[in-house]
Structure 1
Amino acid sequence: MRILYVSFFLCFCSVSLFAQAIYKTIDSDKLERTCELKIQLPRNYNAEEKRTYPLVVVLDGDYLFEPMAGNIDYQAYWEDIPDCILVGINQGLTRENDFFYDEDTFFPAHDGADFYEFLAAELLPFMEENYSSSNFRIIVGHDLSANFLNYYLFKDVPLFRAYIALSPDLAPQMQNRLFERLSSIEQETFYYMATADADIKALRNAIIECDAKLKTIDNAKLSYKFDNFEDASHYSLVGRGIPKALNDIFALYKPINGKEYNEKILTYEGSPFEYLTKKYDDIEYFYGFEKKLIENDIRAIAAACDKKNDLESLEKLAKLVKNEFPESMLSSYYMGLYYEREGNLKRALQRYKSGLLLKPSQFIDKEVILEKMYDTQDALKN
């Protein structure tokens, strides 16, 4: 029996390490009913921290929430995208009414207008009051809901910065309205749309036509991406579109990879450290939140400093790492590396030795520090 209890406890603890869905209800005055919500918070979410997270609103949450939540949790784990807060709205019994638009104006009307106001006036304030959500908001929909999400673009100040429209069932005139709005939009906006070769024929034809028009938009504030998947249906394209959309929306946020290193950092007119500073400043500007310095990017910039023989950049990087990670071996490693490149081997050895008392990082551990110590000691003897 004790083994059973221990197994249950370990299972519970391991599950708690992963993002889980929270089920909530919200009483809506706009809709005059109770709405069911699914909410997913980031792993290790702490409401007391002074940190905010992008908010992802998932329409058709009955079936679209889980694939969206899984993709975000997975990509955030590998630091390809930031941690996000998700809220899905269950609409299995009400979606036809929720997404209703007038047959003359083709804008939300009756129950559709009520749902439009519910999301803007009740759901978003509810999430902001109860969770640490930022002003960078993403909305995602499929089919009818992928059409409906476009209406939030037409507010004077759009509620969302990123739109994911998966096989939208476009309303009449939506193509022209999207073209006009996205052509003149004044804040950085990400728009993603997808269809597939086996999509519903009527939807696919309208989407292909819409894409041809949107591709002609010349607006530096708009980042537009489109996918036409092969061997995918109206439903299976969802599983392929979500990761592609997230990849495009958070392209700037991603860790430095080999392509960026070779094509952008090494060819950058300024110093490697200036590139790093600009990259993180741009992330804060575009997404509205600060990204914590990650070890992958430190390694890339340090390598570029070596490649360009830029000792000044390496020193600035080492001081930044020391400030950001004072209790990590990272701080001693990079300060030691700077002194080593400078030719001050005694100072470098001191820094490496001090790292033995600090915490290991993802790539820098005791073995790495010891190896640097031995190499430096050998260099001092010669």
Structure 2
Amino acid sequence: MKKFALLLLFLVSISVNAQVIYEPFYSSKLGETREIKIQLPRNYNPDEKNKYPLVIVLDGDYLFEPFAGNLDYQAYWGEMPKCVVVGINQVATRDKDLFYDKEIFFPAHEGASFFEFIGMELIPFIESKYNVSKFRIVAGHDVSANFINYYLFKDNPIFRAFILFSPDLAPEMSVRVKERLTSMTTDTFYYLATADNDISTLKDKILTHHTQLSALSNPKVHYRFDDFTDADHYSLVGLGIPKALNDIFALYKPISKQEYTNQVLTYEGGPFKYLEKKYDDIKFFYGFEKRIVENDLKAIAAAAFKKDDVDAMKELSRLARKEYPESMISAYYTGMYHELENNPKKALQYYQSGLLLKPSDFIDKDVLLDKIYTIKGEN
């Protein structure tokens, strides 16, 4: 019951502030019009230069809402980037859309047309109309989860991340996917999930598939598998969506306590160089720049003080002034730099000047006044 309630939460969690568009889309490949659902990020502005990852959801008649709701929720808290989510309704066309040849086990006839529809029509249309990056995720359930594997076999796959919930795997699929992922030269995320009460005939094949993939040693492939307890073929979706997305966007997340201890403090180049590398990696992996978040400034400042790294604190103060010129953030971290440099008079000037600026999530007048009173008390 708890798992079912969680799924319901996802289904109803789409914010009214997110823009959801229901649009008929004519496909020359399919020779007919299809219904698609599009969720744009909150406060989406087409004139801005921001680029958003694109998430394509098959079986959009029931998978779109839980994906859109979860992405909107986690983006609100800064746990992952805002995304453009596109769902393809297939309730009346699923069998023909996902058809594959029973001898060669690759898409054929209507299935081949549907395969081309996504790559040659739908994605170019979305790219022409919305600000999306080249980082694309595709997701499916059951037969549609099997179908998304076929995009791996292109010379240059159009998707970077694949989310498969309880796939009804075609014959030879496990061997073919393992061979393809073994030779993959582009960073690729592959998520696979089943559950203890999943359909038994599907689960047996999924576990075999997992055994094949768990032996992969390609550093370019980021593989995760979940076998949920107390869940079935349908409820596992509600459990798997946040797991898959958290894994795919792990690099994007703000610096955690574990990352701070195991990586920031131990990075050979020092705390600020770690911050630069983290954000360079985000741009490289996801195809867009992430603005430096306050949580990460706070973590790097703590590391710089702990390691008595004046140079790191100096660079961080410059970054804070550049990114947040009208916020107390800029004055606070510049003051911290001068404190570390043993220049309390200069630090006091910056803390006092910050009282006229805008407060942030972590820094308000009380924080600055504590700094001011401490320095005055010590001098």
For the superposition of Structure 1 and Structure 2, which TM-score range results when normalised by the shorter chain?
A: over 0.9
1:316 aligns with 2:300: no
Change in Cα spacing, 1:275 to 1:196, as seen in structure 2 (3 Å) is same
The alpha-carbon deviation at position 325 of structure 1 amounts to 0.8
Superposition pairs of residues 69-218 of structure 1, within 5 angstroms: 69-218=68-217
Given residue 374 of structure 1, which amino acid in structure 2 is its aligned partner? Y
The alpha-carbon deviation at position 68 of structure 1 amounts to 0.5
**What are the Cα deviations for residues 218-277 of structure 1, in whole angstroms up to 9, with x where unaligned?**
111100110111111000000011100001101111111111111111222221111111
Corresponding residue number in structure 2 for 1:230: 229
Contact kept? 1:140, 1:163, Cα under 8 Å: yes
The alpha-carbon deviation at position 371 of structure 1 amounts to 2.0
Corresponding residue number in structure 2 for 1:285: 284
Determine what percentage of the aligned residue pairs are the same residue.
Answer: 60
Corresponding residue number in structure 2 for 1:366: 365
Given residue 179 of structure 2, which amino acid in structure 1 is its aligned partner? E
Contact kept? 1:17, 1:44, Cα under 8 Å: no
**What are the Cα deviations for residues 183-220 of structure 1, in whole angstroms up to 9, with x where unaligned?**
00111000000001100001000000010001111111
Corresponding residue number in structure 2 for 1:239: 238
**What are the Cα deviations for residues 39-81 of structure 1, in whole angstroms up to 9, with x where unaligned?**
1111111111111000000000000001101111111111111
1:302 aligns with 2:301: yes
Contact kept? 1:140, 1:165, Cα under 8 Å: yes
The alpha-carbon deviation at position 378 of structure 1 amounts to 2.1
Given residue 353 of structure 1, which amino acid in structure 2 is its aligned partner? Q
* Cα separation, 1, equivalents of 2:342 and 2:154: 60
* Cα separation, 1, equivalents of 2:20 and 2:60: 12
SS of residue in 1 equivalent to 2:355: helix
* Cα separation, 2, equivalents of 1:340 and 1:303: 13
SS of residue in 1 equivalent to 2:79: coil
Given residue 226 of structure 1, which amino acid in structure 2 is its aligned partner? F
Given residue 117 of structure 1, which amino acid in structure 2 is its aligned partner? E
Contact kept? 1:143, 1:169, Cα under 8 Å: yes
Contact kept? 1:99, 1:115, Cα under 8 Å: yes
The alpha-carbon deviation at position 379 of structure 1 amounts to 2.3
* Cα separation, 1, equivalents of 2:238 and 2:42: 22
Q: Which shifted more, 365-374 or 109-118?
A: 365-374
* Cα separation, 2, equivalents of 1:272 and 1:295: 15
The count of corresponding residues between Structure 1 and Structure 2 is 366
Given residue 142 of structure 1, which amino acid in structure 2 is its aligned partner? H
Contact kept? 2:46, 2:131, Cα under 8 Å: yes
Contact kept? 2:15, 2:72, Cα under 8 Å: no
* Cα separation, 1, equivalents of 2:95 and 2:58: 12
The alpha-carbon deviation at position 17 of structure 1 amounts to 6.2
SS of residue in 2 equivalent to 1:80: coil
Q: Tell me: higher relative CO, structure 1 or 2? Use CA pairs within 8 A at least 6 residues apart.
A: 2
Change in Cα spacing, 1:16 to 1:104, as seen in structure 2 (3 Å) is closer
* Cα separation, 2, equivalents of 1:352 and 1:58: 49
The alpha-carbon deviation at position 282 of structure 1 amounts to 1.1
**What are the Cα deviations for residues 15-52 of structure 1, in whole angstroms up to 9, with x where unaligned?**
98621421111111111111101111111111111110
Question: Unaligned 5+ residue runs, structure 1?
Answer: 1-14
* Cα separation, 2, equivalents of 1:164 and 1:192: 5
Given residue 29 of structure 1, which amino acid in structure 2 is its aligned partner? S
Corresponding residue number in structure 2 for 1:10: none
SS of residue in 2 equivalent to 1:219: coil
1:62 aligns with 2:61: yes
* Cα separation, 1, equivalents of 2:41 and 2:253: 18
Question: Unaligned 5+ residue runs, structure 2?
Answer: 1-13
SS of residue in 2 equivalent to 1:357: coil
Q: Which shifted more, 190-199 or 348-357?
A: 348-357
Q: Which shifted more, 132-141 or 251-260?
A: 251-260
**What CA RMSD, in Å, does the superposition of the two structures yield over aligned residues?**
1.1
The alpha-carbon deviation at position 150 of structure 1 amounts to 0.6
Given residue 135 of structure 1, which amino acid in structure 2 is its aligned partner? K
* Cα separation, 2, equivalents of 1:263 and 1:326: 31
Given residue 134 of structure 1, which amino acid in structure 2 is its aligned partner? S
Contact kept? 1:57, 1:138, Cα under 8 Å: yes
The alpha-carbon deviation at position 373 of structure 1 amounts to 1.8
Q: Which consecutive segments of 4 or more residues in structure 1 shift more than 4 A?
A: none
* Cα separation, 1, equivalents of 2:144 and 2:268: 45
Corresponding residue number in structure 2 for 1:221: 220
